[in-house]
Amino acid sequence: MRGAHVLRRLLDLILFRPARLRRLRRKIETLQTDFSGPFLHVLLKALKLALLVDADFRRDIVPFEATYHFAERDGMMHETAMFHNGRLTVWRRLVGQANARLTFRDSKALADFLFSERPDLLGAMLRQEVTPDGNLNYLYRFAYLANHLRLRFSPA
């Protein structure tokens, strides 16, 4: 057992895992307090980093393959997120065919939808905060991952 602990510590040092986890925690703290600016891009990068450093989090998406398009209603921001083989690839433009597309009013509306305990898509649509397109199960899956990321890596 001691050899496994030493090997894990050595791998942590080689792969800079503690530094990556600290960076991930800082990103999560930023997400919880600041909804202005590139909220979605920071969220996607934090998800990507979490998938890289945390095997348990990566196991949540191993059989999951999907492409998401996110767009701000005013057309100023576009993001594509592609989950493939336990990895997340992010682009700041629309790439390929999406399984689900979410157009949102602003970053605050997106954060309210993603970080609620029970994402209410219909309520958000009625308030004209988000407009979904495609398979809604994929949107709920993404909301689950975002909320799970926030709860798992946020400071207590």
98-107 residue pLDDT tens: 999 999 988 8
**Position of tokens 């009625």?**
126
Q: How many domains does the chain have?
A: 1
- Position 68 in a domain: yes
Q: What are phi and psi of 115, to 5 degrees?
A: -100, 10
Give me the domain span that covers residue 32: 20-153
Assigned token pair, 114: 């993603």
- Position 14 in a domain: no
- Position 4 in a domain: no
- Position 9 in a domain: no
3-class secondary-structure state, position 149: helix
Tens digits of per-residue pLDDT, 105-117?
A: 888 888 888 877 7
Task: Read off the CATH number of the domain in which 105 is found.
Answer: 3.30.1050.10
- Whole-angstrom Cα distance, residue 85 to residue 90? 14
- Position 74 in a domain: yes
Going by pLDDT thresholds of 50, 70 and 90, the confidence category of residue 66 is: very high
Assigned token pair, 148: 């799970």
